Amino acid sequence: MPSKGQSRSKGGEEAKVPLQAVVLADSFTHRFRPITLERPKTLLPLANVPMIEYTLEFLASNGVEEVFIFCCAHADQLTQYIENSAWSSTAGFVVHTIVSTNCISAGEALRLIDHKHVIRSDFILISGDTVANMDLRRALEAHRERRKTERLAIMTCCFKTITRRQREEHLGESNLVVAMDPATGRVLHYDEQASPSLPDANASPKRAKAKLSPLSLDASLFSEHPSVRVRTDLQDCHVDICAPEVLMLFTDNFDYQHLRRDFVCGTLNERELGNNIYAHELGAREYATRITNLRTYDAVSRDVIGRWVYPVCPDVNCLPRGDPTAFTHRWPQTYLEKGADVDPSAVVGAGCVVGAGCVVGPGAKISRSVLGRGVVVGAGASIDGSYVMQNAKIGANASVTSALVCEGAVVHESAVIGKGAIIAYDVVVGAGHVVADYSRISLAPQPAHDDDVDSDDELEIGSFGGGGGARLSDPSRQMARSDSKGSFGGGGGFDEDDDEGPGGVYLTDLDRALLQRAKEGTAGDATTERWAPEGVGVGGAGHAWAPRWGEEEWRFGIAPVPPGSSDAAYARDDALDSDDDDAHVRSGAKPAAVGGGDGSNSGTDSDGEGEALESHFRKEVAETFLRCVKHGYEQANAVVELQGLKMAENRTFADIARYVLMTILGLSLPAPRDVTKENSKLYPAKAPDNTPALLKSIRERLKQWAPLLSRFLKSEDDQVEMLLTLEDYCAEDEVFKGMHGALLVPSFAKILHLLYDMDVLSEVSVLAWAEEKGLAGEEDKRFLKLAQPFVDWLKEADSESDGSGSDSSEASSSDEE
């Protein structure tokens, strides 16, 4: 059959498009400073393998055939790395690098990729710092299956189940709430907020975050999804499967910067466009985490060492591709690479990775730490929970706890590195110096805007998603960012710096020589003039950076967070959020209200406010109607206008009809006070002298508009309602004050008759009105008495036509049919 053949060939064509992936090798944030001032983050080794290797391996093992690596900061280092690595020569796996050094956000990067027209079908969007072993094929299949039936399912985000404590203490991520449809997994709401701060954090009052506002879900969601699952137990893996439309959306919305805050929230908010985002949940054995800060770096390192990401673990020895490591695994989770020289008296405890060429001196204690290749650990040194990179030296009896010591750095004898500290490339810490907890030391001076309160923390974890997709389009913020960019002089991207080797641009030749001596430990106090000894000690080299002002280092530092600290923060936050019962008791909300009512206080409420609203609405109707009269609109157009008003004010047709009638009647009377000058020309200067003249004028008006009225008066109840309003009008009650309605009182019965003749009122409704009024108090019977002759006449007519009544009703019904 031709159709079958066609579809098969089509399927074949589709299959020919290679599976593509976009890797963003820049997180566009400052979290990893000062390390990222000198090297790109994606090249930072994790268990002695650069992070991008994990990402590329993950993609390759899931059948991705073509990868576009978007390089921004330190693009040259990255491209060079890729060129020299085995990735550039792997069969069936093509790696392209796209370089743009002036991008400041993921949004810009994706716009650029869109302009290059390289993406041909659904692709994987991932960050270059992702460690994962998840089965991407399963997610892809689900995504493609959905796309077959739902073209606008443009994105599938991967989530992993996790507890809040794991997410915030273990991974250092923010408070994430995702609402989704329980049946389909469609994401309905994405809300990410900064976690509450600790009570004892010495945060500045300015930064101390107010209590978390309640999560706001648009109630109209429930019309499409009768039940909504609100999940606080998810970790966003930042592995997305996107349709090419995603890139187009980024181009269309040129202000989209952040993938989640702008794109996901924006898409979810603009439901009328119909684009949908779905969640894919990882299985229990699947793993995918993006390294967004040092806390995640630590957590993911531990997971890799602990074999939670199997087969991604050190002793598999497949990474880096082409030049793999050579670890052997030893219980308990210790990995030694061939050629590591560990003194027999040294203790290498659980959870350690020791690279080739390491020399661990006698009596040294190493636990839960990663040592890069060629690290030298002196005798009696102790290293716990730390990451010491290639060729760094830890002196004898030095102590390093939960710190990051970068490539080439030297920690001299008996120095103490406090928890959470970052010792950047080639920094030298003088002998015996104590580096405070959470300090950051780099050869590069601290950029002027690094401690800018609002700069990037807000970018990364700032609250968003709550209401209406708050965007970071604040111009002053943008300015601050371009400022900070300019201040490097290097002119590159956001966390980018010099184009030279480590520390190059900051050092003169003299400095270099000095640094060399400092590393050897022979500089003595010669360094104190160049580098302040308060930061690095005598004989040290490097600048101690000012702490991020008010930043909660514990949350994002490499040191493990004390267990329960996030809970403490939440407990405090919750305490601020106490809820008062009395505020919710509706029937007794007002102290003045007497208890034991029927549960509604609308009676007291509506008197003042209700009348004002009603008066406003009456005016609206009158003005709309007068405009139609003034311009001589066709009836049909007037209907459209009034219907629009009905929709806008959320009223019934009867409401419109009532006030239109009053306006029609009013047109035969002097202009009311609240009519605009222009419209007042439509009214006569004074009321007609006698009743017949008045009636004549009313009759003419009514003749014109009766069809409109009967069109709006859908039922007898509506007509009765209108009669009641007419009473109010004539009595100049409530909203009709000062409208000269009293002038109509003498002709009340005549007006009823007129309306009856014009088929605006039916006899049934007039009689119903009369009956209802008959039960009312004497006071209220004033108009009934006026109308009595007419009502009596109707009743007579009614009983006369009783015999033929059924006939006529049948006739009319058959007419309708």
* Sign of the CA dihedral with 107 first, then 109, 113, and 116 last: positive
For other proteins, the binding residue among 11, 63, 199, 362 (CB under 8 A) is: 199
By CB under 8 A, is residue 212 in contact with other proteins? Answer: yes
Distance in Å, CB of 304 to other proteins, minimum:
11
By CB under 8 A, is residue 222 in contact with other proteins? Answer: yes
For other proteins, the binding residue among 79, 88, 90, 232 (CB under 8 A) is: 232
Number of other residues whose CB lies within 10 A of the CB of residue 281? 15
Contacts of 350 (CB under 8 A, 6+ apart): 332, 333, 334, 367, 368
- Among 2-10, 114-122, 304-312, 750-758, which window interacts with other proteins (CB under 8 A)? 304-312
- Among 4-12, 93-101, 213-221, 313-321, which window interacts with other proteins (CB under 8 A)? 213-221
Contacts of 265 (CB under 8 A, 6+ apart): 190, 464, 465, 469
- Ramachandran class of 430: left when φ > 0, alpha when ψ lies in -120 to 50, beta otherwise: beta
Q: Answer yes or no: are the C-beta atoms of 700 and 753 closer than 8 Å.
A: no
Distance in Å, CB of 195 to other proteins, minimum:
10
Burial profile 701-718: b = 16 or more Cβ within 10 angstroms, e = fewer: bbeebbebbbebbeebeb
Pick between residue 205 and residue 591 the one whose CB is nearest to other proteins.
591
By CB under 8 A, is residue 269 in contact with other proteins? Answer: no
Touching other proteins, residues 155-184 (CB under 8 A): 161-166, 170, 175, 177, 182
By CB under 8 A, is residue 777 in contact with other proteins? Answer: no
For other proteins, the binding residue among 129, 262, 303, 655 (CB under 8 A) is: 303
**What is the rounded distance in angstroms from the CA atom of residue 419 to the CA atom of residue 554?**
9
For other proteins, the binding residue among 768, 781, 782, 793 (CB under 8 A) is: 768
Pick between residue 292 and residue 414 the one whose CB is nearest to other proteins.
292
Distance in Å, CB of 301 to other proteins, minimum:
10
Pick between residue 224 and residue 252 the one whose CB is nearest to other proteins.
224
For other proteins, the binding residue among 14, 200, 224, 611 (CB under 8 A) is: 224
By CB under 8 A, is residue 219 in contact with other proteins? Answer: yes
By CB under 8 A, is residue 486 in contact with other proteins? Answer: no
By CB under 8 A, is residue 220 in contact with other proteins? Answer: yes
By CB under 8 A, is residue 283 in contact with other proteins? Answer: no
User: 541 in helix, strand or coil?
Assistant: strand
The DSSP 8-state label assigned to residue 436 in this structure reads P
Pick between residue 308 and residue 617 the one whose CB is nearest to other proteins.
308
Number of other residues whose CB lies within 10 A of the CB of residue 302? 18
Q: What is the dihedral of CA 738, 739, 744, 749, to 10 degrees?
A: -110
By CB under 8 A, is residue 274 in contact with other proteins? Answer: no
Cis peptide before 560 (omega within 30 of 0): no
By CB under 8 A, is residue 803 in contact with other proteins? Answer: no
Q: Say if strands 334-337 and 327-330 run parallel, antiparallel, or are unpaired.
A: antiparallel
For other proteins, the binding residue among 448, 585, 612, 776 (CB under 8 A) is: 585
**Could you identify the residue written with the tokens 């970068």?**
406
By CB under 8 A, is residue 595 in contact with other proteins? Answer: yes
Q: Calculate ∠ Cα 782-787-788, nearest 5°.
A: 95
By CB under 8 A, is residue 149 in contact with other proteins? Answer: no
Contacts of 661 (CB under 8 A, 6+ apart): 709, 722, 725, 726, 755, 760
User: 408 in helix, strand or coil?
Assistant: coil
For other proteins, the binding residue among 588, 670, 688, 707 (CB under 8 A) is: 588
Contacts of 531 (CB under 8 A, 6+ apart): 540, 541, 542, 543
Pick between residue 332 and residue 738 the one whose CB is nearest to other proteins.
332
Touching other proteins, residues 358-377 (CB under 8 A): 367-368
> Residue 505, exposed/middle/buried by CB under 10 A (0-12, 13-18, 19+)?
middle
- Among 215-223, 496-504, 512-520, 535-543, which window interacts with other proteins (CB under 8 A)? 215-223
By CB under 8 A, is residue 797 in contact with other proteins? Answer: no
Distance in Å, CB of 210 to other proteins, minimum:
12
Contact flags string 312-351 toward other proteins, x per CB under 8 A? --------------------------------------xx
β-partners of residue 434 are: 416
Supply the angle between the helices 691-712 and 635-649 in degrees, to the nearest 10.
70
By CB under 8 A, is residue 215 in contact with other proteins? Answer: yes
**What is the rounded distance in angstroms from the CA atom of residue 290 to the CA atom of residue 51?**
10
* Number of residues located near other proteins, criterion CB under 8 A: 76
Touching other proteins, residues 456-485 (CB under 8 A): none
β-partners of residue 187 are: 180
**What is the rounded distance in angstroms from the CA atom of residue 258 to the CA atom of residue 28?**
9
Q: Say if strands 234-242 and 153-161 run parallel, antiparallel, or are unpaired.
A: antiparallel
Distance in Å, CB of 203 to other proteins, minimum:
17
Q: In this structure, what are the phi and psi dihedrals at residue 626, rounded to the nearest 5 degrees? A: -65, -35
Pick between residue 511 and residue 574 the one whose CB is nearest to other proteins.
574
- Among 336-344, 436-444, 523-531, 806-814, which window interacts with other proteins (CB under 8 A)? 806-814
By CB under 8 A, is residue 302 in contact with other proteins? Answer: yes
